[in-house]
Amino acid sequence: MAQDESSRTDDPHILSRFDGDLGNLRHLVLSMGQTVREQVVMASVAVARCDIAKARKVIGHRRQIRDLDMAALEANTKLFAIHQPVARDLRFVLTLSRAIYDLERISGEAVRLADIAERLYEEQPSSAECAIFEDVERISAPAVDLLDRSMQALADEDVHAAVEVALDIDDMERLFRGSLRRLATYLMEDPRNIRWVIDATLGIKAMERIGDHACSIARNIIFSVTGKDVRHASVENLEQTA
Residue 242: the pLDDT is 54
Residue 7: the pLDDT is 45
DSSP, residue by residue, 149-189: HHHHHHHHT-HHHHHHHHHHHHHHHHHHHHHHHHHHHHHHH
Whether 16 contacts 35, CB under 8 Å: no
Question: Tell me: the pLDDT tens digits for 4-45?
Answer: 444 444 555 455 777 788 889 999 999 999 999 999 999 999
Q: Is residue 78 part of a domain?
A: yes
The whole-number average pLDDT for the span 102-123 is 94
CA 36 – CA 126 distance, rounded (Å): 30
Residue 202 belongs to domain with CATH number? 1.20.58.220
Question: Tell me: the pLDDT tens digits for 167-226?
Answer: 998 889 999 999 999 999 999 999 999 999 999 999 999 999 999 999 999 999 999 988
Residues 6+ apart with CB under 8 A from 104: 65, 69
CA 183 – CA 193 distance, rounded (Å): 10
CA 81 – CA 85 distance, rounded (Å): 9
Reported as a pLDDT band with limits 50, 70 and 90, residue 2 is very low
Q: How far is CA 158 from the centre of its chain?
A: 17
Q: Is residue 2 part of a domain?
A: no
Q: Is residue 1 part of a domain?
A: no
Task: Using CA atoms of 161, 167, 170, 176 in order, give the dihedral in degrees to the nearest 10.
Answer: 20
CA angle, residues 181, 182, 186, in degrees to nearest 5: 115
Q: Is residue 213 part of a domain?
A: yes
The whole-number average pLDDT for the span 76-86 is 81
Reported as a pLDDT band with limits 50, 70 and 90, residue 227 is confident
**For the chain, how many structural domains are there in total?**
1
Whether 139 contacts 179, CB under 8 Å: yes
CA 166 – CA 234 distance, rounded (Å): 10
Angle of the 12-49 helix axis to the 52-78 helix axis, nearest 10: 160
Reported as a pLDDT band with limits 50, 70 and 90, residue 231 is low
Domain carrying residue 99 = 10-241
The pTM of this model reads 0.85
CA 123 – CA 201 distance, rounded (Å): 17
Residue 3: the pLDDT is 45
Question: Tell me: the pLDDT tens digits for 46-73?
Answer: 998 888 999 999 999 988 999 999 999 8
Question: Tell me: the pLDDT tens digits for 150-168?
Answer: 999 999 999 999 999 999 9
